[in-house]
Structure 1
Amino acid sequence: MSNEPYDPYQQYPHPQQQHQYPPPQQAEEAWGHQDPYAQQQYATQQWEGQTWDTQVHAAPPVADVTETAYLPPQSYAEPPQGYSGVDHSGAYPAGQAPPAQQTPPPAAQQTPPPAGRHRAAPAPAAPAEPDPGVDPSYGPATITGNPRVTDAQRARAEGRSPIIEPGMQPALLTAVLGLLLAGGAAAGQYALLVPLVILQGVTAAGWFRLNGMWPARQGIALAFLGGVAADVALLATGEGNAPAAILGTLGVWVLLVLVLQLRSRAGADERMAGLMATLASSALAIIAAGHLAATHEAVTVGGVAVAVTVLARALPLPTPASVVVALLAAAGAGIAVGGATDFGSKGALLGLAAGVCAVIGHRVASYDYPSRFVHFTAGVALPLAAAAPAVYVMGRALG
């Protein structure tokens, strides 16, 4: 029997080192007194069915490699970082390294996973080298909202113009539509209505796409309906009340657009951009109805003048020279067509005014690197839509 005093914090080696607690009888003989908790602890271990004895001698379960990814065995030669030992509830004392972790059986280590099931993760690929042909100023495509430099911004930074003018094909379409307007005006008011409705629809779609908004079906439909409403108002009221019909339709459509935009749940910036684009598109479609309100001779002269102006503007000439040639062609077309009508030589002023408006519309459709779709919509319709007020005003003034 030992004469050493009883230490209640004495710790025993870990059970994986195959050390066990002594039975309660041996503990009483060794310590010289009866431990009231020995029987309770021993009974609790037997009751739970997970004793130190069974834990030591029981073989560890073999991992099912068919259901999990194959991982190599891991072992720790040193205790994990921050390990300091705890009480005698089964952990190791401070400063004592744990024994090496038991490795799984060789079958679990060397059996590869079956085909078709989970496979080992491939090694990460090395980062690809940058392509020498790619401009490093452009970053990779992202979905995090990273702003990228647009073609127009890059052109300005390099000192180039962000303007791309429509080519000869849009100019030919504009000329065809202008001649249809001139022929429809000569045939009658209802014959003019068909190419005018086409012009209003193309104007609405082209303006939205020119502002970078696509698809914008509701805005395009609203602007187009505004133009049709102006046409109906003009047909109902007659040519004498044309200004009231056009301005009244425009005022009603502005209020309608404002109400619809106030009900939108989009962000403030997006809602403001949509409001401005819808207002401008509706105004252009409604103003284009001025061809229907003008006199038939004025529409004939103006349609031919716009067609000649756009064709001359599409010639491969420097911009200043092209503009001068286009305006001279518009004035000449006004004189030629005016001689066949009541305008006479005054048709030169009407043709020149229509040509100036057509050049402005052509310039607007060329701004800020437009797409091919913009060229074949806004590039076709804006010269004719912008010329409508000049055709109406100059036709009334000169007629």
Structure 2
Amino acid sequence: MSNQPPYGYEGHPGHDPYQQPQWQGYDESQAAQAQQYTQQWEGQTWETQVQPRTAPAAHLTETAYLPPQSADGPTAQPYGEHGQYGEHGQYGEHGQYGQYGQYAPQGQPQPQAPAQAQPPEPAPAAGPGYGPATVTGNTRVTDAQRARAEGRSPIIEPGMRPALITAVLGLLLAGAAAIGEYALAVPLVVLQAVTAAGWFRLNGMWPARQGIVLAFAGALAADAALFTAGREHAPAAILGTLGVWVLLGIVLGLRSHADPDERMYGLMATVASSALAIIATGYLAAVADAVTVGGVAVAVAVLARALPLPTPASVIVSLLAAAGAGIAVGGATDLGTSGALLGAGAALCALVGHRVASYDYPSRFVHFTAGVALPLTAAAPAVYLLGRALV
């Protein structure tokens, strides 16, 4: 008989505690040697290799800790009366593999496996912090939406500070017109640039650099055409430039790759902005005295409109103040008392531009662009036509 140590379960050295080996010629020396291998086992295992005793794994879903057990049965488990994992172990009442076990056909008793800890349910994610519902809305509702929901008019006027800027620009136009047409071109170019930018922002299109540049370029082209043709050919220069720029805007709109609705919306905004900026060239085409009277009248009318008065009263006060300013300034020019009519007409057009700039709760940028420029730009045709008729 060979002196090679006996082999137990699954062909590894050791002693199978559930099945006594049937060896031929079994003696005490072989038993002692088998006991030596048996003492190296810390407990029962179902692996095919000898596993060292280790601490429980950190992640319970990947492995399980088997407490030490002897051949007679499981030993006392740590961490309380029922062990670390509760009364029924890691995998429930019948173990990991059911009531009969994985090795039931082999007649081997099943150990009670430690229970697998259920991972805690994740806490609900914190919401964006919305406040409770209110009758008057919340901060996420725009002023225009709240005004419509409450039945109010979505209109807010630019206020006194934009009116002051408009008044300053109107007085600059009036003073530059008395100096000469080249001096008048400096504040006029500023007015045309602010008009182009303000109209796009008023329509919610920002930054619309291509449209703003195109509209401003049309205004500069109209100014250049007027200087070239002279004031006697002002209508042809202004209307000709306007027609060319409308056609150019249509061509650029057709070449756009945007959606059809956005393309049409951008085209209309570009055409309207170009038309307004080009129409402002009417100050350069008008008689110098008419520009002087009209600039002062618009300045006075806008300041009076910004006073804290009811809207009907404010409109009436503005028209009367503009007519009075027209009489005062007209007396120093060749217009005389006809300046009242010119002042009132320019003020009426300015109030229309002021009303357009107040539509739909515009932003502060709209107030300081469209709110500043549109009253003066809208008054340009009246200054040109009334000045030609009254002088």
TM-score by length of 1: 0.69
Is residue 270 of structure 1 aligned with residue 262 of structure 2?
yes
Q: In structure 2, how many angstroms separate the alpha carbons of the residues matched to 1:187 and 1:174?
A: 20
**Residue type at the aligned position of 2:380:** A
Unmatched tracts of structure 1, length 5 or more: 1-17, 19-53, 80-89, 110-119, 141-147
Matched residue, 2:363: 371
Question: After superposition, what is the alpha-carbon deviation per residue over 1:48-76, rounded to whole angstroms, capped at 9, x for unaligned?
Answer: xxxxxx9766869x99979x898796965
Whole-angstrom CA distance in 1 between matches of 2:366 and 2:266: 18
Correspondence 1:21-32 to 2 at 5 A: none
Match of 2:233 among 241, 244, 264: 241
Equivalent in the alignment of 1:232 = 224
Q: Distance in 2 between matches of 1:282 and 1:331?
A: 30
Q: Are residues 129 and 257 of structure 1, via their aligned partners in 2, closer, same or farther at CA, if it must alter by over 3 Å?
A: closer
* Counterpart Cα distance in 2 of 1:306 and 1:271: 35
Matched residue, 1:305: 297
Deviation at 1:260, TM superposition (A): 1.3
Partner of 2:309: 317
Cα RMSD for the two superposed structures: 3.9
Deviations 1:265-306 (A, max 9, x none): 222222222111111111100000000011111111110110
- Contact 2:155-2:360 at 8 Å conserved across structures: yes
Partners of 1:163 and 1:374 in 2: CA distance:
13
1:200 partner amino acid: Q
1:161 corresponds to which of 153, 172, 190: 153
Partner deviation per Cα, 1:68-97 (whole Å, 9 max, x = no partner): 898796965499xxxxxxxxxx9x99xxxx
Could you tell me how far apart the structure 1 residues matched to 2:338 and 2:115 are?
104
Q: Distance in 1 between matches of 2:308 and 2:142?
A: 27
User: Matched residue of 1:166: which SS?
Assistant: coil
Residues 126 and 174 of structure 1, relative CA distance in 2, 3 Å threshold: closer
Distance 1:64 1:254, change over 3 A: farther
Deviation at 1:251, TM superposition (A): 0.8
Residue 217 of structure 1: how far off its partner (Å): 1.4
Counterparts of 1:285 and 1:72, CA distance in 2? 77
1:181 aligned to 2:166?
Answer: no
- For 1:335, give the aligned amino acid: I
Q: Describe the SS at the equivalent of 1:344.
A: coil
Q: CA–CA distance in 1 between the matches of 2:312 and 2:183?
A: 37
Q: 2:341 aligns with which of 311, 335, 349?
A: 349
Residue identity in the other structure for 1:215: P
Q: Check conservation: 2:195, 2:373, Cα contact below 8 A.
A: yes
Partner residue, 1:217: 209
Q: Structure 2 matches for 1:9-24, cutoff 5 A? A: none
Of residues 167, 181, 193, the one that matches 1:201 is 193
Q: Distance in 1 between matches of 2:264 and 2:194?
A: 23
Counterpart code for 1:194? V
1:180-206 deviations in Å (ceiling 9; x for gaps) = 001111000000000000000111111
In the aligned structure 2, how far is the partner of 1:99 from the partner of 1:138? Answer: 65
1:299 and 1:69 map into 2 onto residues whose CA distance is 88
Contact preservation (8 Å) 2:91, 2:115: no
1:135 is the counterpart of 2:134: yes
Aligned to 2:389: 397
Distance 2:111 2:253 in 1: 73
Render the CA deviation track for 1:87-123: whole Å, top value 9, x for unaligned: xxx9x99xxxx9987879xxxx9xxxxxxxxxx9974
Taking the aligned partners of 1:337 and 1:392, their CA distance within structure 2 comes to 17
Go from structure 1 to structure 2 and tell me whether the alpha carbon gap of 1:122 and 1:185 turns closer, same or farther (over 3 Å shift). Answer: same
Instruction: Please say which structure displays the higher CA radius of gyration.
Output: 2
Could you state the TM-score of these two structures normalised by the residue count of structure 2?
0.70
> Which of 245, 256, 267 is 1:253 aligned to?
245
- Show structure 2 runs of 5+ residues with no match: 1-15, 17-45, 65-84, 95-101
Corresponding residue pairs, total:
317
